Amino acid sequence: MASTTLTAPAPRGYDPAAAKPFLEQFDRVKDGLPGAGLSWLNELRSQGQARFAALGLPTVKNESWRYTNLRALDKLTFQPAAETGEAVRFDVLPTVRADGATGPRLVFVDGRFRAELSSTTGLPAGVELLNLADALTRKPDLVAEHLGRIAAPDDRTLVALNTAFLADGPVLHVPRGVTVDETIELVFVSVGSEAQPTAFHPRGLIVAEAESHAVIVEHHVGLGSCTTLSNGVTEVFVGEGASVHHYKVQREHAESFHLSHTAAKVAGKGVYDNFILTIGAKLSRNEVNSVLDGEEGDTHVSGAYMVRGGQHVDTTTFIDHAKPCCTSREVYKGVIDDQARAVFQGKIIVRPDAQKTDGYQQNRALLLSDTAEIDAKPELEIYADDVKCSHGATVGELDDDQLFYLRARGIDKAEARGLLIGAFLSEALEEIAEESVRDAFQSYVADWQNVR
């Protein structure tokens, strides 16, 4: 284990002191974590622990965290999620399915799997959908082969933190050539505790073997108003010619912190589509990394966000064109009201080998108030010569002429604004290929508007 003496010089852009409360907890809980008997897993967790101990939390001096300040986390001491004694009751769990329809679904409450709310109905033979804690006993080889391979703990400090504490989360394995017709839903509920702020570190693993297809929707919601920190990591392996459509909607409550890192690796002719709709949380950051690791791969990394009040939303993407003839497309649109703040950092790298790359990135924000703010940082690093790459960023306000035109036809100001905001976001939502998902996300957008 690495030493954590306070005299060691702090690397620039990190605050190792912030690691302390988490490390103390780690020492307390590590022996009780699932799979604690597996030596490779203990090794992985120790690597995470050591890395996090050395770095701590990032500060705004860190180039990648310039616009998102995690100091608020410092002021709170998060405890690991306690085993909820009496089962938390739910009237309705979020779904993109039609009323009354059922399908494959895993539910996690404060990071822990809830079997009685979950189901694997509708999955074709051979498809594995289970929680990580179980997978460590039932499918240890599958997990050992993939876990920590794309999102390595030496990579980023929050990934390291997640790796140290990793305990539970969704695991999906789709065998070669299998198409999962039913949308797989992953529901994450943040509840927390009245007693103290609660942290959990969900860890997901999605493995789609060659020529397989799956559609996954993650719902992140909050219940109550206790302070919670969700620090999730998901690794996605997309095999040759496979396709994974990975959608996520985050509607946590106003006292929650939502940090998430999704890392995908796409083999030749594979397709990885990611779309994230952010509505909730006090502070959220979604990092999405997609590596195009084989020829003719394709990745769409898009999203929409709507924030108001004092919310902060950070979208940080990294598209790595490692091999020739791949395409990538990013469309992000966001609406920012009140004093809310948005950050968009989009990096595309085209490696020397990646000729015939086609990359597109667009990031547009609509500011609804004078105090709303966006910081955008697109970055293109191109080392190949035969590439087509474009990016664009715009920041605007609602158009007065359009507003007047609508009002002159009898539509009141609030509804006219709503129509224009909806129209603005719809361009991003159209990136969602599945109609049922698109419609559900569209309705979350409408709900957000109706709250005003």
Partner 1 sequence: MIEIKNLHATVDGKEILKGIDLTINPGEVHAIMGPNGSGKSTLSYVLAGRDGYEITEGSVSFFGKDLLEMEPEERAAAGLFLAFQYPVEIPGVANTTFLKSALNAIRKQRGEPELDAMQFLKLVREKTKALNMTDEMLKRAVNVGFSGGEKKRNETLQMAVLQPKFAILDETDSGLDIDALKIVAEGVNALRSPERSMLVITHYQRLLDYIVPDHVHVLAFGKIQRSGGKELALELEKNGYAEFGVNEAA
**Residue 17, interface with partner 1 (CB under 8 A)?**
no
Q: At 44, phi and psi to the nearest 5?
A: -65, -45
CA dihedral 126, 131, 132, 133 (to 10 degrees): -120
**Residue 439, interface with partner 1 (CB under 8 A)?**
no
Q: Which of 384, 419, 436, 449 binds partner 1 (CB under 8 A)?
A: 419
Nearer to partner 1, 383 or 404 (CB): 404
Residues 6+ apart with CB under 8 A from 96: 183, 185, 217, 436, 437, 439, 440, 441
Q: At 422, phi and psi to the nearest 5?
A: -60, -40
Number of H helices, E strands in the chain: 9, 23
Q: Which of 92, 400, 435, 451 binds partner 1 (CB under 8 A)?
A: 400
Name the segment binding partner 1 (CB under 8 A); options: 66-74, 137-145, 297-305, 404-412: 404-412
Nearer to partner 1, 150 or 416 (CB): 416
**Residue 415, interface with partner 1 (CB under 8 A)?**
yes
Q: Which of 24, 40, 388, 405 binds partner 1 (CB under 8 A)?
A: 405
**Residue 404, interface with partner 1 (CB under 8 A)?**
yes
| Smallest distance, partner 1 to C-beta of residue 396, A | 12
**Residue 237, interface with partner 1 (CB under 8 A)?**
no
H helix or E strand, kind and range, residue 200:
strand 198-200
| Smallest distance, partner 1 to C-beta of residue 425, A | 8
Q: Which of 422, 433, 434, 436 binds partner 1 (CB under 8 A)?
A: 422
Nearer to partner 1, 312 or 438 (CB): 438
Give the helix ranges, DSSP H, for 110-261.
Answer: 132-138, 140-146, 157-165
Q: Which of 426, 436, 442, 449 binds partner 1 (CB under 8 A)?
A: 426
Instruction: Quote the DSSP letter at residue 430.
Output: T
Cα-based distances in Å from 293 to 39, 142, 199, 214, 384: 30, 21, 34, 19, 15
Nearer to partner 1, 91 or 400 (CB): 400
**Residue 450, interface with partner 1 (CB under 8 A)?**
no
| Smallest distance, partner 1 to C-beta of residue 395, A | 17
Residue closest to 199 by CA, chosen among 22, 18, 16, 15: 22
Number of Cβ within a 10 Å radius of residue 154: 15
**Residue 398, interface with partner 1 (CB under 8 A)?**
no
CA dihedral 159, 248, 451, 308 (to 10 degrees): 40
Residues that bind partner 1 (CB under 8 A): 400-402, 404-413, 415, 419-420, 422-424, 426-427
